[in-house]
Structure 1
Amino acid sequence: MQTAKDQTDATAKALPAEELEELMPSKAAAVHEILRREGERELSREAFALFWSALAGGITMSLSLVARGIFQANLPEIELGFLIEAVGYTFGFIFVIAAGQQLFTENTVTPVIPVLRRPSLGNIARLLRLWGTVLAGNIIGGMIAAAVFVWLPLFSAETDEAFLSISRHLMEKTPTQMFTGGIVSGWMIATMVWAIHGLEASKLPLVFLATYLVAIGDFPHVIVGSIEVAYLMFMSATTVPEALFIFLIPVTFGNIVGGTAIFALVSHLEVRADEEEA
């Protein structure tokens, strides 16, 4: 027999997004439903489609390093010049999200919502498949971009030196700093995803603000950081074990904790409380 909750879900699924707020008990519940729909679509996509979109996303994310490096190389020595340089960090995120390409940290919240809504071994397996596919595609795409930057004469010597400086600064952090900073950046990106679905007309300003704060706060992000670390590896300035155990593993888990365990779970519990009161 169909429950009242099932009937509400079916009705919500049939409504366009702009009419959801009238049905749902709060705006947060309406955004939750929009994310659930999108998450269901992502979980149902073929692995190859996800991978190629993630590969493209990883390459596009290299624009964050490119823009930041060019800014750093060409800015005069001025106090607080890093506030201008940090604008470049936002470029990759803006273009990836505008292009609709897969980005791993977006997926720590969007496909998690339907899994939290209807937890099951099958849904958890679909989520892990999506995470693994997108993370692998993003990292491989980022490594391709980093290899191109190292081996092709694309940039000035000053810009190449700026790439090295930015990447070395990242690897100065300890694994604990990588993990805790990754929690903050994962939470901020998840907040951004939730916000842009709640205020679609302000998508690009919201992306800029969230990722600019990640940049000036010096919080590591697994995909941007993987491009910087790959650049160091191709320049023989770091090793594979250092890349894995100092950067990749701590930041990946930090981003997942911040985006999923903190933001997505708390937001889901908020919406469940709204529905129980309605």
Structure 2
Amino acid sequence: MAEKSSKEGKKEPKDEVKAAQDGDGSPKSQDPAPGSGLSRKEKQQVREGVRHRPAVVYEIIRVQGEIELRRPVSALWWSGVAAGISIGFSFLTEAALAAALPASEWTSIIAKLGYAVGFLIVILGHQQLFTENVLTAVLPVMARKQVHWLLKMLRLWGIVLAANIAGCAIFALALAYLPITPTHVDAALSEIVDTVMRNTPAEMFAKGIGAGWLIAALVWILSSTEHVEFIVIGLLTYLIALFGFTHIVAGSVEALYGVFTGSVGLEPAVFRFFLPTLGGNVFGGTVLFSVLSYAQVREEIYAEP
């Protein structure tokens, strides 16, 4: 009996660690001290105010990624087409602001605020955007390390990218052939296209890395914060326009508009803009941001519980 009592009274190391953690695996040290004098409501506010650990944010995005990887083709396709159309409003709003503002050194700085509009519609509307999926879809693959999940990721990327470009083409066709915009806005649209297409393929790739990193950072931040989505999306996507970075989906509306209006040839649109920018976005969002994000949480996630 004494031996049995001794075994029952002895805690396993795993039990001690588990007892020292909350339900989400975070240390209980985030609880207020017993003698802090705070009310129950105030103690709850303290718990809610503690920032998520990087490992928790990683798991949130990974789970979201697995949900996306399991979605049916039709759902991905139509959501992706909607995103391609919605992102066109970044191009149109920037041009409309540039046309409406007086000529000045600061005109382009203010006009680039319009670039955030399409991203706000897409992200807040939960539409499928390729560059978002670069991060969310790759984390499950890195965690599972199975060919099955890699094929799921490639399937998702292919469907969403094709759907996004189809939506971009619809929007660009409407701008080019329907009487939607006045002449002075048409001139601003063409100026934006000319500015983008002045980049060499190497510049498209390098600037695409910056855009890929910022969109991946945007996904990471939105998964760890609440009630500031509008500000975060607006700020980080504005930076893409301000720095002249290239985004495969938003930029495709611009390139396709140039093709439909005759100012850009199909070959430069594909080989100067599309392929280098796609490579840069994937590299910035996957090879850099995703790998580094995984590296910082790998030991925490796979540590012995």
On whether the aligned pair clears a TM of 0.5, the verdict is yes
- Structure 2 CA distance, aligned partners of 1:258 and 1:80? 29
Aligned counterpart, 2:147: 121
Structure with higher RCO (Cα < 8 A, 6+ apart)? 1
Say whether residues 1:77 and 2:81 are aligned partners: no
Say whether residues 1:22 and 2:26 are aligned partners: yes
SS of the residue aligned with 1:195? helix
- Which segments of structure 1 move beyond 2 Å, counting only runs of 4 or more? 18-24, 273-278
Q: What are the superposed Cα offsets for residues 222-275 of structure 1, whole Å, 9 maximum, x if unpaired? A: 001000000000001111111110000000010000001100111011110333
Say whether residues 1:187 and 2:205 are aligned partners: no
RMSD: 1.9
Which sections of structure 1, spanning at least 5 residues, go unmatched? 1-10, 12-17
Aligned counterpart, 1:256: 282
- Structure 2 CA distance, aligned partners of 1:153 and 1:253? 35
Deviation at 1:276, TM superposition (A): 5.2
Deviation at 1:182, TM superposition (A): 0.2
Q: What are the superposed Cα offsets for residues 120-169 of structure 1, whole Å, 9 maximum, x if unpaired? A: 11111000000010000001100100000011101110001100000111
Q: What are the superposed Cα offsets for residues 29-76 of structure 1, whole Å, 9 maximum, x if unpaired? A: 111111011000000011111011000000000010110010011100
Which structure 2 residues correspond to residues 94-113 of structure 1 after superposition, within 5 A?
94-113=120-139
- Structure 1 CA distance, aligned partners of 2:57 and 2:297? 10
- Structure 1 CA distance, aligned partners of 2:27 and 2:70? 26
- Structure 2 CA distance, aligned partners of 1:39 and 1:122? 14
Which of the residues 278, 288, 294 maps onto 1:268?
Answer: 294
- Structure 2 CA distance, aligned partners of 1:204 and 1:119? 35
Which of the residues 118, 122, 131 maps onto 2:157?
Answer: 131
Say whether residues 1:207 and 2:211 are aligned partners: no
**AA of the residue aligned to 1:249:** L
User: CA 1:242 to 1:255, structure 2 compared with 1: closer, same or farther past 3 Å?
Assistant: same
- Structure 1 CA distance, aligned partners of 2:263 and 2:174? 16
Deviation at 1:20, TM superposition (A): 3.2
- Structure 2 CA distance, aligned partners of 1:85 and 1:240? 28
- Structure 2 CA distance, aligned partners of 1:162 and 1:79? 16
Aligned counterpart, 1:150: 176
Aligned counterpart, 2:255: 229
Q: Percent of aligned positions with the same letter in both sequences?
A: 38
**AA of the residue aligned to 2:220:** W
Aligned counterpart, 2:87: 61
Calculate the TM-score normalised by the size of structure 2.
0.83
- Structure 2 CA distance, aligned partners of 1:125 and 1:182? 24
Which sections of structure 2, spanning at least 5 residues, go unmatched? 1-17, 29-51
- Structure 2 CA distance, aligned partners of 1:70 and 1:229? 18
Aligned counterpart, 2:72: 46
Say whether residues 1:167 and 2:198 are aligned partners: no
Q: How many residues align?
A: 262
Contact 1:21 1:27 (8 Å CA) reproduced: no
SS of the residue aligned with 1:220? coil
SS of the residue aligned with 1:238? coil
